[in-house]
């Protein structure tokens, strides 16, 4: 197997950036260059004051140690490709918006463009690693493109190495992953390439955690893992609806079922709905794959996980309207949190976007506060969510605030959309004093002490608990 000494990562996003920064940190003998077409992003990665393009706890420290030593960020994609012996393709694979498979299939144009670029500029053999999440058998298309366009004496070996990090905990996930998965063709060359990548991870990941499998299993495992994780949340959210109707408490139910060692306690938190760039996209991708394989029952099974999530978001905004005496027209609602989960500034598919859009269409006034999401991003997301509404109109209805306290002032209701730690530590007495009465709190994340807030005077509504204002 080739001993890897130069790595290039195409795509400096939420995955490529942290993943390859950690590789550089843990492998000082390997030169790692992360390239991207987006100059602003690369400039931010290179910024002298470490104002990185993404917020991720612990990331700045990693970049601070490795940048300029053996970690480089550049827009010179071709140079990065030429120099490297191993190339990660870590570009975005969003859901297709038009054409065949629109709304379900993954858009592979960025993967294909990156692959074609590799074929075009490479002058020596490369190990090409799919890091992006892709449909099963994408490696085959990549190989066809590479082989059809390569120069003599250039060999390309393709590996699948899906990334399992979660945003908000990316650095600790990368430091001690549950597993690293590497898929390769089971030919001698494929197995050798797999060993080369395994040696990179073996610099810090215990060998028994590095799983080597066939290419197609590796590609499918990524979709399968996300589908099963999202399914857990949709299952618990479906149960939360039953709890609200019966008087059971979803936290108690989740705790009780999670005690079964076969089920386990993690990832059973009822919520206003899962968000993030992966779950919905990857399940829809699996649905599309199932349909393409003429497996409609399988497709319907997974599709229901996404439908349940849409239902959960709808159900929550309806509950807000119902509780506020069936109208929120002209009422001020404070939405705390805009990111799709805590400890990230990422808003892709965030439930908060759907909630605010629903409140806007009910003609409410919305105050929103998030500790990490840039204001321009909030406007972009709200504009995209209501394409028929001009931004000026949106800006008349929505105000972005600088703190939770400021957002809650003169509001009729507070809606907790993201589980930021600081929302657990809010001075609720002060918030109560500044709000219109009756003052309502809607906890979409199960983070507040409902009893304590009721004692202050709030009317509290919690996901997965009945609405009679007592537990
Ligand atoms: P992202 O949008 O943050 O980053 C992708 C980057 O690739 C962008 O900066 C874009 O400019 C760049 N790019 C696109 N085409 C390019 C090209 N031809 N040449 C150079 N640069 C190019 O996306 P992400 O969140 O990092 O996700 C990347 C992949 O990883 C996706 O397939 C995603 O499904 C998968 N994934 C994401 C996560 C996550 O938590 N975000 C976790 C696991 C897997
Ligand atoms: C997910 C997978 O966890 C990760 O392995 C994969 O690589 C990428 O997709 P991510 O989307 O970054 O990671 O975050 P995750 O922690 O999985 O949360 C996804 C969504 O589910 C968030 O909106 C989160 O708030 C929600 N969630 C999570 C719940 O509602 N309840 C839970 O118990 C856990």
Average pLDDT over the chain reads 97
* Distance separating alpha carbons of residues 397 and 5, to the nearest angstrom: 54
**DSSP symbol at 95:** B
Q: Which ligand is nearest to the CA of 121?
A: 1
Residue 153: its pLDDT value, please?
87
Residue 150: its pLDDT value, please?
84
**Is the confidence metric ipTM above 0.90 for this complex?**
yes
Distance 38 CA to ligand 1 centre (A): 11
Residue 468: its pLDDT value, please?
67
Portion of the chain with pLDDT greater than 70, in percent: 99
Query: Does the C-beta of 268 come closer than 6 Å to ligand 2?
Result: yes
Q: Which atom of ligand 2 is the closest one to the Cα of 237?
A: 30
User: Is 278 tagged catalytic?
Assistant: yes
User: Is the pLDDT assigned to residue 222 strictly greater than 90?
Assistant: yes
pLDDT interval class at 467 (50, 70, 90): confident
Both tokens assigned to 106: 């993954």
Query: Does the C-beta of 254 come closer than 6 Å to ligand 2?
Result: no
The alpha-helical segments, DSSP class H, found in 176-272 are 188-201, 215-246, 250-258
Instruction: Give the tens place of pLDDT for each residue, 252-302.
Output: 999 999 999 999 999 999 999 999 999 999 999 999 999 999 999 999 999
Residue ID of nearest Cα to ligand 2 atom 15: 166
Average pLDDT over every residue of 319-329: 97
Residue 470: its pLDDT value, please?
52
Where on the phi/psi map is residue 99: left (φ > 0), alpha (ψ -120 to 50), or beta?
left
Residue 57: its pLDDT value, please?
97
Residue 469: its pLDDT value, please?
54
* Distance separating alpha carbons of residues 468 and 471, to the nearest angstrom: 8
Average pLDDT over every residue of 164-185: 98
Average pLDDT over every residue of 208-221: 97
pLDDT interval class at 151 (50, 70, 90): confident
């Amino acid at each position: 197997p080739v001993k890897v000494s130069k790595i290039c990562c195409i795509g400096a996003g939420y995955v490529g950036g942290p993943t390859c920064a950690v590789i550089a940190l843990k492998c000082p003998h390997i030169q790692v260059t992360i390239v991207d077409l987006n100059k602003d992003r690369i400039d931010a990665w290179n910024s002298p004051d470490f104002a990185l393009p993404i917020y991720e706890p612990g990331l700045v420290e990693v970049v601070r140690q490795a940048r300029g030593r053996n970690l480089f960020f550049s827009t010179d994609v071709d140079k990065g490709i030429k120099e490297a012996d191993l190339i990660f393709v870590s570009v975005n694979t969003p859901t297709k918006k038009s054409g065949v498979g629109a709304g379900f299939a993954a858009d592979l144009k960025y993967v294909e463009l990156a692959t074609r670029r590799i074929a075009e500029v490479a002058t020596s053999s490369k190990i090409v690693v799919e890091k992006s999440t892709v449909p099963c058998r994408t490696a085959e298309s990549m190989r066809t493109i590479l082989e059809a366009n390569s120069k003599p004496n250039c060999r390309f070996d393709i590996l699948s190495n899906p990334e399992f990090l979660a945003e908000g905990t990316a650095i600790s996930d990368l430091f001690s992953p549950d597993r690293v998965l590497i898929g390769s063709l089971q030919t001698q060359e494929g197995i050798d390439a797999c060993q080369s990548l395994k040696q990179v991870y073996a610099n810090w990941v215990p060998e028994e955690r590095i799983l080597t499998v066939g290419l197609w299993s590796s590609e499918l495992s990524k979709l399968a893992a996300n589908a099963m994780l999202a399914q857990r949340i949709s299952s618990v959210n479906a149960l939360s609806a039953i709890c609200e109707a019966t008087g059971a408490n979803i936290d108690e139910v989740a705790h009780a079922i999670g005690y079964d060692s076969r089920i386990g306690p993690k990832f059973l938190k009822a919520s206003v709905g899962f968000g993030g760039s992966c779950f919905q996209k990857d399940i829809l991708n699996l649905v599309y794959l199932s349909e393409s394989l003429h497996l409609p029952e399988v497709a319907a099974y997974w599709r229901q996980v996404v439908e349940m999530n849409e239902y959960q978001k709808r159900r929550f905004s309806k509950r807000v309207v119902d509780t506020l005496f069936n109208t929120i027209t002209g009422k001020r609602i404070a939405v705390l949190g805009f990111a799709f989960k805590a400890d990230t500034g990422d808003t892709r598919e965030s439930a908060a976007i759907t909630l605010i859009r629903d409140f806007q269409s009910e003609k409410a006034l919305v105050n929103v506060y998030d500790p990490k999401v840039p204001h321009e991003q909030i406007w972009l997301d709200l504009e995209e969510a209501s394409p028929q509404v001009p931004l000026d109109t949106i800006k008349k209805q929505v105000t972005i605030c600088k703190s939770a306290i400021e957002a809650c002032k003169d509001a009729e209701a507070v809606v907790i959309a993201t589980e930021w730690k600081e929302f657990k530590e809010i001075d609720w007495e002060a918030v109560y004093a500044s709000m219109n009465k009756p003052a309502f709190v809607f906890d979409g994340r199960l983070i507040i002490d409902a009893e304590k807030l009721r004692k202050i005077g709030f009317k509290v509504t919690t996901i997965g608990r009945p609405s009679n204002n007592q537990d």
